[in-house]
Chain A
Amino acid sequence: MTTKTIEIDPLLNTLCQTLQQQLQSRNIDNPAMIGIHTGGAWIATRLHQMLGLSEALGMLDISFYRDDFTRIGINPEVKPSHLPFNVDDRHIILIDDVLYTGRTIRAALNEIFDYGRPASVMLATLVDRSNGRELPIQPDACGITLDTKTQQHVNLTGPEPLRLTIG
């Protein structure tokens, strides 16, 4: 199977614009952003800058909340999650690179709620692999929707340069 590279910047622009519209229509003026380690954190770093958010960026490593802990075990490289703001009553934008089964987002939501009770959580992902969902989770904003086959791999490498490949 051949590997195809997708240009990142247009996807980030689309994602950013959709998010701005969403924030406007929901009357949210001071959201807090959380990126999921690793790829989501890279995307979040870019979007955080593009949206000019004042609140520091939060990072989440959801390894301790995964539902496949028994299969893959603990990776000692797990980075401690760092949320530099109080989650209670905040409007949160949760960022990941690729949305596929939805299990990562399920784990992230569980972890966020162990920090407090947010006012709302929006989900934004660079890529939505629309036909692999195993849970009722959909993005509020995404850069591109891909109708990929199960055996394909969508891979983001980074942080500099960010490179998205499908193969």
Chain B
Amino acid sequence: MNKRNIQLDDNNRLRHFLSIEGLKRHILTDILDTAESLSGVTQQTVKKVPLLRGKTVVNLFFEASTRTRTTFELAAKRLSADVLNINLATSATSKGETLLDTLRNLEAMHCDMFVVRHVNSGAAHFIASHAAPHISIINAGDGRHAHPTQAMLDMFTIRRAKGEFYKLKVAIVGDIEHSRVARSQIHALSTLGVEEIRIISPATLVPACCETLGVHVYHDMRQGLEDVDVVIMLRLQNERMETALLPSEHEYYRLYGLTEEKLALAKPDAIIMHPGPINRGVEIDSQVADGPRSVILEQVTHGIAVRMAVMSMAMQSHLADAHSSALESSE
């Protein structure tokens, strides 16, 4: 277990942000605290701080995304970085260029940070292990593996609403098996020490690893929601129906859709979260999604502050390196 975590530098500071797994609680708390400080930037007339001035951030999206890409772009701009958006689904890779060649080309343009989304699990990790040493990689979702900034913005939203983590019961509802969001959330919740993590899901959509992560699995939503403080709904991806993992949308909604009636079993002050995009009437009823306990839009707002925190923390490690090597060469 002595293998170095490539996310950390020699001083155990965040260098890349690839997954929650392997990060200690104090790093997660630092991210949340830094995000809390940076959330004040939106109150300024000039909604910018100069932390990443003169740096170039590249959004490398090999898979479509609107919310995540937009909030990463806003986060980078509010840190005064220059942002380049590259949609690789429609670019050189489709002409046969390899991932590494794409990478080398972007390095040659003197970019400083890559925000990577890819359909394959481990893509961000692969890029981090091959990128030039001065480049930071932020994982914006890789296959079924991880979506760490989403998990951190969820933790931020939970902390804002509930305060301490240790006495919270949190239920994650939906397709856990195919969800990188759920995987990252489970790691984050467990590292931050919540009292109980439950997943509520049809048996066909529960991954094998759940028990080892100390998660309680429920197939009956009514049982699972009892007494929880936080309900996290996941989007039901339509393609799951096609592969016969689920009978029908209608049937799924009857069993696992979040309605006021089912929600009545959770604590009266429970909050409702969803990473978006939401499918109204499939996994969540409109009345719940738009109701007073829904914090779905707060999650979007918090996503910007959390991404600002992660980007500035990762960049700081590289800048400190550059600074110390500049000092050495001048001596």
Check A73 against B37 for contact (C-beta < 8 Å).
no
Q: Is B4 an interface residue (CB 8 A)?
A: no
Is A146's CB within 8 Å of the partner chain B? no
User: Is the Cβ of A64 less than 8 Å from the Cβ of B50?
Assistant: yes
- Is B119 in contact with chain A by the CB < 8 A criterion? no
Q: How large is the interface on B (under 10, 10 to 19, 20 to 34, 35 or more residues)?
A: 20 to 34
Binary flags per residue of A113-140, CB closer than 8 Å to B gives 1, else 0:
1111000000000000000000000000
Please state if B45 and A70 are interface contacts (CB–CB under 8 Å): no
Contact string against A for B residues 1-35, beta-carbon threshold 8 Å, 1 for contact and 0 otherwise: 00000000000010000000000000001110110
Residue positions of B touching A, CB distance < 8 A: 13, 29-31, 33-34, 36-41, 43-46, 48-51, 312-313, 316-317, 319-320, 322-323
Q: Are B34 and A74 in contact (CB under 8 A)?
A: yes
Which chain A residues have a beta carbon within 8 Å of chain B's beta carbons? Answer: 61, 63-65, 69-71, 73-74, 76-82, 87-88, 110, 113-116
User: Mostly helix, strand, loop or mixed at chain B's interface?
Assistant: helix
Chain B residues near A76 (CB-CB < 8 A): 29-31, 33-34, 37
- Docked Cα-Cα span, A76 to B313, in Å, equals 9
Cβ of A73 and Cβ of B40 under 8 Å apart?
no
**A73-B13, A78-B37 are contacts. A114–B48 as well, Cβ < 8 Å?**
yes
Q: Which of A61, A65, A71 meets B50, CB within 8 Å?
A: A65
Question: Which 10 A-B pairs have CB atoms at the shortest separation, nearest pair first?
Answer: A80-B40, A114-B46, A64-B49, A70-B319, A76-B33, A78-B37, A76-B30, A73-B316, A114-B44, A70-B323
A90 to B328, CA, bound (A): 46
Closest to B48 in A: A114
Bound-state Cα–Cα, A116 to B46, Å: 8
Residue pair B316, A77 in contact (C-beta under 8 Å): no
CB neighbours (8 Å) of B29 from chain A are: 76
Nearest chain A CB to B192's CB is how many angstroms away?
A: 15
